[in-house]
Amino acid sequence: MPERTVAVASRSGLHARPAKIFVEAAARQTVPVRIRVGGGKAVPANSMLGVLTLGAGHGTEVTLEAEGPGAEEALAALADLLSRDLDAEGAEGAV
């Protein structure tokens, strides 16, 4: 299963607005994507509650995983999104 690890760049981490932008982008992908912190349990990336329960703060490394046609593209798009400061950008830069 393809994976991508990236550090959360948003100042507030994956909370509030950055989490909403990320979850909405994950929901638009053509394959299901899961996200986890370290060796923890992976949660659906399109679940706001799941993403918030990760407690991923600024600089936390998260791992994205997906499987199926389009998995690499989905992971690249979501990793790129997480590597930007979504607090500063707002929704304009969303995938």
Active site residue 58: no
In a domain, 28, yes or no: yes
The total number of structural domains in the chain stands at 1
Q: How far is CA 52 from the centre of its chain?
A: 11
Nearest to 42 by CA among 68, 11, 15, 64: 64
Q: List the domain range (segments joined by +) for residue 78.
A: 3-89
CATH of the domain at 67: 3.30.1340.10
In a domain, 94, yes or no: no
Tokens 């690890």 appear where? Answer: 5
SS3 63: strand
pLDDT in tens, the chain (95 residues): 899 999 999 999 999 899 999 999 999 999 999 999 999 999 999 999 999 999 999 999 999 999 999 999 999 999 999 999 998 875 454 55
Q: Which of 4, 15, 34, 36 is catalytic?
A: 15
Q: How far is CA 78 from the centre of its chain?
A: 5
Give the pLDDT score at 1: 86
Give the pLDDT score at 90: 54
